[in-house]
Structure 1
């Protein structure tokens, strides 16, 4: 299956729909099978002890799967998270950006499921693993036409 949006189109669309947080996330790489996203870690993403917070890693996983769905389905897709699971595997390195490697396990008519591994920048050991499920609006609905 081909992409409905390029990396540049996707970044611009994320800027439009998430103006409050678009600077936090960068699409590093995108192809038909996967997306690599960066969380630009700042002090507000850290918790006491200098490590990246769980909510920040959750946000990275959530945006990664959402962006992959958009890249495949296009701007008309107003997907919403319906289920998530996040396993913290090791302490992320504070002061380093977080990198998410995401792939879609399923992209159906009504559901999408994505798997995400999250790493501290330059580390080959994942700090977290997430599985996210999204509900997709029916094609032709007002929600599917958003964007």
Structure 2
């Protein structure tokens, strides 16, 4: 299923990385671990640069690490397509793990399935390795905060 290309991003890739870094500076302490590779109409691509700290016994990238990548993908979609409000929050996130992922770049290809006034539904295909096979797939929902122009905090 293609992305909802009627949804145009309001931030560039660089702006998305800058916003992510300002909102969550702890995310990339010690190097650029999570980053936005691309923002496009109806979607984005995020990357985890997995290293030893992301491994579980057996040399596999841990489930919580891949879950974090999926959540970051949804967050980036919300920031870039529904408004750059850092108070967007995860309502639901379901993930299926299909293959082992090892050290190296792991990419998440995200797309908007539905974007309404208060909720955004998305999915993300997480791929890794030289062959680019899916290692996990997630679907999620983000809550989009109402505009605070008319509703100050």
Q: Under a length normalisation based on structure 2, what TM-score does the superposition of the two structures give?
A: 0.86
Q: Distance in 1 between matches of 2:79 and 2:13?
A: 11
8 Å contact 1:45–1:53 — kept in the other structure? yes
Partner of 2:4: none
* Residues 1-147 of structure 1: pairs in structure 2 closer than 5 A: 1-22=7-28, 23-76=32-85, 78-92=87-101, 94-140=102-148, 141-142=151-152
8 Å contact 1:99–1:121 — kept in the other structure? no
Tell me by how many angstroms 1:77 deviates.
Answer: 5.1
Q: Distance in 2 between matches of 1:122 and 1:104?
A: 26
| Paired residues, number | 142
Q: Distance in 1 between matches of 2:87 and 2:11?
A: 14
8 Å contact 2:91–2:141 — kept in the other structure? yes
Task: Give unmatched runs, 5+ long, in structure 2.
Answer: 1-6
Tell me by how many angstroms 1:26 deviates.
Answer: 1.4
Q: Distance in 1 between matches of 2:152 and 2:72?
A: 22
Q: Structure 1 residues 74 and 51 mapped into 2: Cα distance closer, same or farther (>3 Å)?
A: same
Q: Distance in 2 between matches of 1:137 and 1:32?
A: 21
Q: Distance in 2 between matches of 1:44 and 1:18?
A: 19
Task: Give unmatched runs, 5+ long, in structure 1.
Answer: none
Q: Distance in 1 between matches of 2:36 and 2:130?
A: 17
Tell me by how many angstroms 1:76 deviates.
Answer: 2.7
